[in-house]
A = this chain, B = another copy of it.
Amino acid sequence: MDCQQQEIVNNLMASYREVGGINHVDCGNLPSKRTITALCEDLLQLLFPGFFSDEAVSSDELELMTTELVAGIRQRLNEEVRQSLRMVAGDGGDHAKAAGALVCRFMGQLPAVRALLATDVEAAYEGDPAARSYEEIILAYPGLEAIAIQRSAHLLYNEKVPVIPRMMTEWAHSRTGIDIHPGAQIGSHFFIDHGTGVVIGETCRIGKCVKLYHGVTLGARSFQKDDDGKLVKGTKRHPDVEDGAIVYPNATVLGGDTVIGARSTIGANVFLMESVPPDMVYAVGDQEHLIRDKRNAPGRKKSAETSDT
């Protein structure tokens, strides 16, 4: 079937010539998914020493282990950042020096990230009756993994590094179902329980001691388009959540002007596009909108919302 083999290849080569936009040939490396994966795994080891290494870590080994992790992360990140800066500059320049300095600033801020993550672990323990120990939270809570990666990626986002921060949070999204844009600003003591389906948009600002459950969307309400009908990018599009607010499962909160006030509670399955004052509880009405039918009773057909998707 060699002829067919050659014919298949020829058709693909023709497609590579004709279909633009989804080829990346002759334009230098892109950030590699595999490298971003290794990078995120090393970062978790550095942020939570002893939790993600297969062997027990003794304090004698700790500095050596740390030195090796730091060197490895810097080497990888220097290269990825350099490529990603070059991709955007499009000048074929080297950008090694800029990348190195940027990565140094990034690494220098990791202790501050650790201080925040310690408050996140505390918030999870205080916030979940099912949590038995700090170890369980660090080893088995997807929300902690997602916020650890997002807090790190946010540093690179602030340095205007293209693509890589988003690839990092997407690595966490793929593993946890939690999609936090690297641009989101998130305060201390942040806890996401379960987490699958959570979406936190690029321009969200989240205060301290905020708790979210799975399926919560903090999203944008609508597009702004310019005179050419193109989307305007980079405006404030997503809600703010003030200190101590709680948003329960599958609530959808939309809009760049929407503010959930301090200590307020948004109930499960609520849809919200208005701001909520502090110390309020907004919830779906007491099910007066629910239809309760005896199975096979008249009207059942009309209201039966069965599904086999």
Contacts and interface: CB of A to CB of B under 8 A. Distances in A.
Contacts of A295: 263-265, 279-281
A87 to B, nearest CB: 7
A81 interface: no
Interface residues of A, number: 161
26 contacts: A1-B100, A14-B111, A25-B62, A31-B139, A33-B139, A34-B54, A126-B230, A129-B231, A129-B232, A129-B237, A130-B308, A140-B167, A174-B175, A179-B214, A196-B196, A199-B214, A218-B309, A219-B307, A222-B304, A223-B308, A267-B306, A270-B305, A272-B287, A272-B290, A274-B287, A284-B291
Contacts of A309: 193-194, 199, 201, 213-214, 217-220, 238, 249, 254
A308 B193 contact: yes
Interface in A206-264: 213-215, 217-224, 230-235, 237-238, 246, 248-250, 252, 254, 263-264
Contact of A252 (B70, B174, B250): B250
A214 B201 contact: no
B196 A177 contact: yes
A49 interface: yes
A128 interface: yes
Nearest to A112: B15
B271 A287 contact: yes
A151 interface: no
Nearest to A104: B4
A292 to B, nearest CB: 6
A118 B237 CA distance: 27
A213 B289 CA distance: 22
A289 B284 contact: yes
A55 interface: yes
A5 B70 contact: yes
Interface string A4-24: 110111011111100111111
Nearest to A138: B22
A154 interface: no
B47 A22 contact: yes
B135 A87 contact: yes
B284 A304 contact: no
Contacts of A270: 290, 305
A173 interface: yes
B305 A273 contact: yes
A89 interface: no
Contacts of A303: 267, 281, 283, 285-286
